[in-house]
Structure 1
Amino acid sequence: METRESVGEGVEAAASQSTFSGQTSRKPTWTLLEEAVQMKTEGNAFYREKNLRSAIRRYHSALLILRGLDSDVMSSLKGLGPVAHPLSPEQETLLRNTQVDVFNNLAACLLQKENTNYARVQEYSLRVLQWQPHNVKALYRAGVATLELGDAQMAKRYLTQAFNEQPNDVNIKKYLQKAEERLNQELQKEKAMYRGMFSPSWRGRWRSGGVV
């Protein structure tokens, strides 16, 4: 099984290698896009076989290629590597759609792990939502991860959006209910705290200097 560092840092390491290797300048853009799609397809096959380690590696390989073609990424690294040629609208669409699929699939892989890195699941899901704000899978996984990270309010927002897109999805309903229950628990704790603060015994301690 992949370690936390290899899962999370593999993408960044891949991006760095892509920047300096110059491989993208030696192959036609369509060839590189087809290779990235092939890596994604192989990753999907490994995922269906529950071979998460190999699936993650294929997805990272796809991102390695795509990052070298992404004008947004390469413009921020101007002067550090080969200049990517502008993509046609069709190529740009394929690149973005493949990126969306790969980040979504990486998040799915991490959620299958015994010791889930919810911060990474959240990160990958939010990357998808930058490009596709109504992507149901990304909204759902962002909601699950955010809830596990302790922010029930934001989790409810993601899950409510996902529910509005797919109101019959059982998993979305389940986690939306969990988020609402968590918020209700937090509200009850807050109410109990304030009730305690304004009780006669508390006011007596405050007057005597027992509470600051």
Structure 2
Amino acid sequence: MSRNGLVSSFRRLLDDEKRRKRTPGPFDQLRQQMTDVLGDEGILKEVVQEGEGPPIPENASVLSKIRYSGYLEYSNRPFETTTHLKYPRMMKLGRDVTLAGLELGLLTMKKGEFSRFLFQPQYAYGNMGCPPLIPAAAVVLYEIQIIDYLNSGQVDDFIAISPEEQNTVPLSTFLEVVNTLRSFGNRCFNQKRYFNAKDRYKQAMTLLVNRETQSCEEEERIKTALLPLYLNLSLTQLRLKSPHKALKYGNKAMEIDSANTKALFRCGQAYMELHEYDSAQDCLISAQARKPFDHDINNLLRKVAICYKDSLDKQKDMYSRMFRDLRG
């Protein structure tokens, strides 16, 4: 055997010995309890906590509470995480999720599910990695939890068509689009993203106002859908310190249902912010007559009464000083 052949054989023996002696790493141990998602061992998955319902659809916007952390092998500290964020940003599949493995992994998950994924480099950061955080050809672990998501595909498709085509869509489908937009707004509102909430509510409101109705029944259904949007917009404008706009939407709600307690309360709140205490009292007394034991109504009514008295006292004091100056 030649010298080169002996060297090659010796190296192979050394490599085989190294492989036999190599201690399995953390990722090797994880692989034993994971399932192959695609069949090429590029994405392995372990479900830690089962979810419920269908998997996330491809066109969904994953909202509000998707939390994830990415880890390298032998590291307990994540190289990226959203677990510290109280309100993680909205992520739309196919647009905002840039890691191929992460998007494909999300599509296998259900609402409420918590899972771990191992991504091979071709589904993660590739052979180049992402220096200095991610080394070349790195296998990465992601822990992902989905608390909630909304499917925006139907909304996207509806918004893409012309107004004329929108009017030909069945009313039931149309109202589903409106309800989804309102749900988006509610998520934003609960995250204190009031400008985003306002935009979603107004988008839904505009669709309803522009809808051409074919019968009195359809007109009533449109009004029924408008009422909660007006109430939501009124409250959102109060949070945005715009009492005039809050009053406008409160009054629109009362045009649909003059006895609506929430509408009366919103108008009372707006009048209170505008220092129109007599009008605030009128609205709140009407609301109290319908819900006499409502804690919020009674508290605000007491607050308005105090502010009204203070305002009258100040006016009285101002007029007294004016008369004293005139007499002087």
Report the Cα offset of residue 194 of structure 1: 5.2
Match of 1:11 in 2: none
* Cα distance, 1:185 vs structure 2: 2.1
- Give the drift of 1:168: 1.8
Cα distance in 2 for partners of 1:55, 1:43 equals: 4
Cα 1:85–1:154 shift into 2, 3 Å? closer
Maintained 8 Å contact 2:254/2:260 = yes
Letter in 1 for 2:262: K
Distance 1:108 1:198, change over 3 A: closer
| 1:182 partner letter | C
Q: Which has the larger radius of gyration?
A: 2
Where does 1:77-156 land on structure 2 (aligned, <5 Å)?
84-89=212-217, 91-113=218-240, 116-156=241-281
Answer yes or no: is the 8 Å Cα contact 1:139–1:161 preserved in 2.
Answer: yes
Structure with greater helix share of residues: 1
In structure 2, which of residues 149, 169, 181 is the aligned counterpart of residue 39 of structure 1? 181
Q: 1:202 to 1:142 in 2, by over 3 A?
A: same
Equivalent residue for 2:43? Answer: none
Once the two structures are superposed, residues 85-137 of structure 1 have per-residue CA deviations (whole angstroms, 9 ceiling, x without a partner) of: 42341x22321111000111122223334xx1111111111110111111111
Unaligned 5+ residue runs, structure 1? 1-16, 70-83, 206-212
Letter in 1 for 2:288: F
Q: 1:56 aligns with which of 198, 205, 230?
A: 198
Q: Matched residue pairs, number?
A: 168
Q: What is the TM-score when the length of structure 2 is the normalising length?
A: 0.45
- Between 1 and 2, higher relative CO (CA 8 Å, sep ≥ 6) is seen in 1
2:213–2:219 Cα contact (<8 Å) kept: no
TM-score by length of 1: 0.67
| Residue 311 of structure 2 corresponds to residue 183 of structure 1 | no
Amino acid at match of 1:47: F
Give the aligned residue type for 1:97. T
- Residue deviations 1:33-78 (CA, integer Å, cap 9, x gap): 2321232233334434444344333322211220112xxxxxxxxx
Q: Does 1:28 align with 2:170?
A: yes
The amino acid of 2:184's aligned partner reads E
Q: Which residue of 2 aligns with 1:171?
A: 296
**TM-fit CA distance, 1:154:** 0.5
Q: Percent identity?
A: 25
Distance 1:157 1:31, change over 3 A: same
